[in-house]
Structure 1
Amino acid sequence: MSRTANIDRQTAETQIKLTLNLDGTGQSKIQTGVGFFDHMLTLLARHGLLDLEIDCNGDLEVDQHHTVEDVGICLGLAIAEALGDKKGITRYGGKTLPMEETLITSAVDLSGRAWFVYKVEFPTEKIGEFDSQLVEDFWQAVSANAKINLHLVLHHGRNSHHISEGIFKTTARALREAVSIDPRETSVPSTKGTL
């Protein structure tokens, strides 16, 4: 069973081609035009063991918002498509991981219902040239379009780069767990029979 997806999304603000393999080895080829965001997506692929290719041409002359949010939309759509009927998946994933002085919890439920909780405050508005509030916008878009529950909690941290990196690494590990196939699960992991 191939758990892959190809998304091609073209709007007046962004043109995005994205490919995803949930059963990859962490390989990535990322080009969004936003250096820090490319770094975060590369971390996501590596720690989630996702094979991920993203080519985005966005209206960066306006700002980075459309690029970041629209990539989140495409990644969410790709996750939903690649999961298919969700038969045999673990469904839940949760990790609490350190990133130097920062500690982050990410909890995921591939429930088919979107819900996003974000308990994170960045100490700075910018991470280099990157607007730190776009981290929330990205993950909200992923959650809404993948139709998953995602809870992100910052326990402590003082460095905005570390906080963002911690969010992406921790969520990668939580997703890796949730999408994994449970050899004992012969159906969809829900009493409803569908997710």
Structure 2
Amino acid sequence: MSIRTATVERKTAETSVKLILNLDGNGHGVIDSGIGFFDHMLNLMTAHGLMDLTLACDGDIDVDGHHSVEDIGITLGQAFKQAIGDKKGIRRYGTFYLPMDEALAFVSLDISGRPFLVYDGGEMAPMIGGYDTELTEEFLRAFAVNAGITLHVRVLYGKNSHHKVEAIFKALGHALRIAVEKDPRVDGIPSTKGSL
């Protein structure tokens, strides 16, 4: 099996993002988004997804984190779409419930080629450190649209905002890991249409 990797760069007037993604890695991340809490979340997603991610972003975080987080989502989605390739033999679907202390998050996804996001994070504190919690949805949308996946994310319950967001990113890693895994029983594209 060939290793599924991609290198993507994105430069705008607001951000400069460069990343290398390996879907068949061992969970190693070297991540510098400029936002400490977001680095932590991406490292968790990488570790739980058993992918390798090297990422550097130089963004206008003096304004706020929005452009950096969204552009990282765009770039990561593009890299995912490139790395997954023709999608032959993959499981395609991934679903995972993840408990984080008192919080429980659910992520279900389909590498369908039909991008869509359904997000219900519940009530959150406005900020976690220097991270605006509204940006979780922005990242997920940018990633789903550019990766070409249908993505459903919900925090079922919880009190601590850090725990809720952490549960989302860990669950996303696990769901992606399941979906990209090669299934020896799948011959070709996992769709009755013959394409994804």
TM class, shorter-chain normalised?
Answer: over 0.9
- The Cα offsets for residues 119-172 of structure 1, whole Å up to 9 and x where unpaired, read as 112331111221100011000100000010000011100000000000000010
1:112 corresponds in structure 2 to 113
Following superposition of structure 1 onto structure 2, how do residues 39-188 of structure 1 map, counting pairs within 5 Å?
A: 39-188=40-189
1:177 Cα deviation after fit: 0.1
User: Is the 1:90–1:189 Cα contact (8 Å) retained in structure 2?
Assistant: yes
1:15 Cα deviation after fit: 0.5
C-alpha separation in 2, matches of 1:3 and 1:21:
6
User: Is the 1:122–1:163 Cα contact (8 Å) retained in structure 2?
Assistant: no
C-alpha separation in 2, matches of 1:51 and 1:170:
17
Gaps of 5+ in 1: none
Q: Which amino acid aligns with 1:78?
A: A
Q: Which amino acid aligns with 1:116?
A: L
User: Is the 1:69–1:138 Cα contact (8 Å) retained in structure 2?
Assistant: yes
- The Cα offsets for residues 75-97 of structure 1, whole Å up to 9 and x where unpaired, read as 10011000111000000000111
C-alpha separation in 1, matches of 2:194 and 2:3:
22
C-alpha separation in 1, matches of 2:176 and 2:68:
22
RMSD: 0.7
Q: Which amino acid aligns with 2:103?
A: T
Q: Which amino acid aligns with 2:125?
A: T
Q: Which amino acid aligns with 2:20?
A: T
Q: Percent identity?
A: 52
1:61 Cα deviation after fit: 1.3
1:192 Cα deviation after fit: 0.8
Look up the SS of the partner of 1:135 in the other structure: helix
Query: Structure 1-normalised TM-score?
Result: 0.98
C-alpha separation in 2, matches of 1:104 and 1:34:
23
C-alpha separation in 2, matches of 1:85 and 1:108:
18
Q: Which amino acid aligns with 2:136?
A: V
